[in-house]
Amino acid sequence: MAFVFRVAMQFVGLLLSLLGWVLSMITTYLPQWKNLNLDLNEMENWTMGLWQACVIQEEVGRQCKDFDSFLALPAELRISRILMFLSNGLGLLGLLLSGSGLDCLRIGETRRGRKKGLLILGGILFWSAGISALTPVSWVAYKTVQEFWDETVPEIVPRWEFGEALFLGWFAGFFLLVGGCLLNCAACSTRAAPASGHHAVAETLTQGPYLENGTTDLRM
């Protein structure tokens, strides 16, 4: 029963981590980190992502333009690119390592300690990926709120608002953190496999004469 519960915890943790990693990949390339709704022209909306800015019009549709220079971006968007790439890479590495350490796989079945280490390392990588995903979306959200309530800007000027990518990034980070916690909890509940009966009997027969004599016979 304990084995089934542990395998189920590993499976759920890996699924949540996989879902978080997929959402993190989508968040990275989704051009909707910020939305700008124009009150004077309701038929035109602007969106901004890490890679491009888009304008949506009813007659023309969506038109996007890539940013010309990385250095021309605001500081929060430049660092967000780096952190989201880091989150995607750590998530992929965590999937590979934790997938190899699942108890339901017969790969490395005789090396429980190594599989336990892979699960723990995979969980730590998922934690790191989750923090790397939560940091940029939270930072961009904070800057958006700060600029929205800036009293020095006239009220007639349109303000940027939260985009859909921010909410996806929060969900991605949450799933990665929860998945990593489940994998580590399952790994910590794994016990080392006991020695086989044949090995124990052979070791007893080998050490028996030495225990009786109290010394080792070195004569040929």
CA 171 to chain centre: 11
**pLDDT tens per residue across span 170-192:** 999 999 999 999 999 888 876 54
pLDDT of residue 40: 56
pLDDT of residue 7: 81
pLDDT of residue 90: 96
pLDDT of residue 105: 67
Answer whether 102's CB lies under 8 Å from 14's CB. yes
Residue of 183, 165, 63 lying closest to 121 (CA atoms): 183
Element (H, E) at 182: helix 164-188
CA 105 to chain centre: 22
Domain ranges of the chain: 1-30+73-189
pTM: 0.79
Q: State percent of the chain over pLDDT 90.
A: 38
**Cα–Cα distance measured from residue 66 to residue 207, given in angstroms and rounded to the nearest whole number:** 74
Q: In what order do the strands lie in the sheet with 52-57?
A: 61-66, 52-57, 44-48, 34-37, 160-162
Q: Give the dihedral of Cα atoms 154, 158, 160, 161; nearest 10 deg.
A: 110
Phi, psi of 167 (to 5 degrees): -70, -40
Res. 215 pLDDT band, cuts 50 70 90: very low
For the cut 80, the answer to whether the pLDDT of residue 68 exceeds it is: yes
**Which carries the bigger pLDDT value, residue 87 or residue 40?**
87
DSSP of 92-108:
HHHHHHHHHT-TTS-TT
pLDDT of residue 168: 95
Burial of 44 (0-12, 13-18, 19+ CB in 10 A): middle
**Which carries the bigger pLDDT value, residue 163 or residue 113?**
163
Buried b (16+ CB within 10 A) or exposed e, 194-219: eeeeeeeeeeeeeeeeeeeeeeeeee
pLDDT of residue 199: 41
Res. 202 pLDDT band, cuts 50 70 90: very low
**Cα–Cα distance measured from residue 185 to residue 139, given in angstroms and rounded to the nearest whole number:** 30
Q: Domain 1-30+73-189: which topology?
A: Butyryl-CoA Dehydrogenase, subunit A; domain 3 (1.20.140)
Residue of 120, 12, 139 lying closest to 76 (CA atoms): 139
pLDDT of residue 70: 84
